[in-house]
């Protein structure tokens, strides 16, 4: 719902990334137009590949994902094939091939791990010194109705930008930095780690 009380459609990440098993490592999914930015948002398309691996492995935790986009998908059913490359006691690797009506859409590699596996940690990040989300207005409050994002993808997020520029596109180059608080709606987090990891796939792809 916008701040003026207008109801807007939105997708639910758990439902809209679900896959249907077809046997022998094959799955189907239907891409929802609620996740449109020009076409199906890339991270959202990749989410179906991740979910298919989650339905194919006994390991409960996704730990790595990489992919190549090979074609532009449409808001129609997609076919997914999951191929086991390594099934270990502690970790597993799977390759994913995604097609739509015979056209290649995406190839991916996914690693998963057993719970309780401790790997090396290389976290040297430092949180930026920025206001918290409770101190900032939502994007819906900052933009007049006629300037709100035209694509339904943005209705799936509560977005609170750190530095807001109403005039867009900008008049000149900007730093290669994007800072914004984002929370998925209507469900912000998921107990299933394979669904919850989808949030990261989408947000990593979004700044591009």
CATH architecture of 1-115+130-208: Beta Barrel (2.40)
Q: Tell me the Cα Rg of the chain.
A: 19
Place of tokens 């690693």: 111
- Which residue would you say has higher pLDDT here, 117 or 80? 80
Q: Tell me, what's the pLDDT at 79?
A: 98
Confidence of residue 98 (pLDDT cuts 50, 70, 90): very high
pLDDT at 1: 38
The pLDDT value given to residue 63? 93
Average pLDDT in the 8-16 region?
77
Per the model's pLDDT, the better-predicted residue between 99 and 122 turns out to be 99
What's the pLDDT tens digit per position in 116-172?
767 678 888 888 899 999 999 998 888 877 777 788 999 999 999 998 887 777 788
Q: What is the pLDDT of residues 26-59, one digit of tens each?
A: 999 999 999 999 899 999 999 999 999 999 999 9
Q: Which residues of 171-194 are buried (b: 16+ CB within 10 A; e: fewer)?
A: eeeeeeeeebbbebeeeeeeeeeb
How far apart, in Å, do the first and last CA atoms of the chain sit?
A: 26
Domain ranges of the chain: 1-115+130-208
The predicted structure's pLDDT at residue 117 = 67
Mean pLDDT in residue range 79-90? 95
- Cα distances (Å, whole numbers) of residue 121 to 25, 46, 48, 125, 158: 32, 25, 28, 12, 30
The whole-model pTM stands at 0.87
Q: What is the 3-state secondary structure (H, E, C) of 108-142?
A: EEEEEECCCCCCCCCCCCCCCCCCCHHHCCCHHHH
User: What pLDDT sits at residue 3?
Assistant: 41
């Amino acid at each position: 719902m916008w701040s003026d009380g207008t109801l807007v459609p939105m997708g639910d990440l758990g439902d809209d990334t679900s896959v249907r098993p077809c046997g022998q490592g094959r799955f189907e999914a239907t891409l929802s137009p609620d996740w449109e930015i020009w076409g199906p948002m890339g991270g959202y398309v990749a989410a179906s590949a991740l979910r298919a691996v989650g339905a194919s492995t006994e390991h409960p935790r996704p730990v790595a994902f990489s992919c190549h986009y090979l074609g532009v998908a449409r808001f129609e059913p997609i076919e997914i094939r999951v191929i086991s490359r390594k099934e270990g006691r502690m970790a597993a690797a799977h390759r994913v091939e995604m097609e739509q009506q015979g056209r290649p859409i995406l190839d991916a590699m996914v690693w998963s791990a057993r719970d309780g596996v401790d790997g090396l940690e290389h976290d040297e990040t430092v949180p930026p010194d920025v206001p918290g989300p409770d101190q900032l207005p939502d994007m819906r409050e900052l933009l007049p109705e006629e300037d709100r994002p035209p694509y339904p993808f943005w209705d799936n997020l509560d977005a609170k930008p750190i530095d807001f520029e109403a005039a867009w596109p900008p008049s000149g180059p900007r730093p290669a930095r994007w800072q914004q608080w984002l929370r998925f709606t209507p469900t912000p987090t998921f107990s299933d780690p394979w669904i919850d990891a989808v949030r990261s796939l989408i947000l990593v792809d979004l700044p591009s």
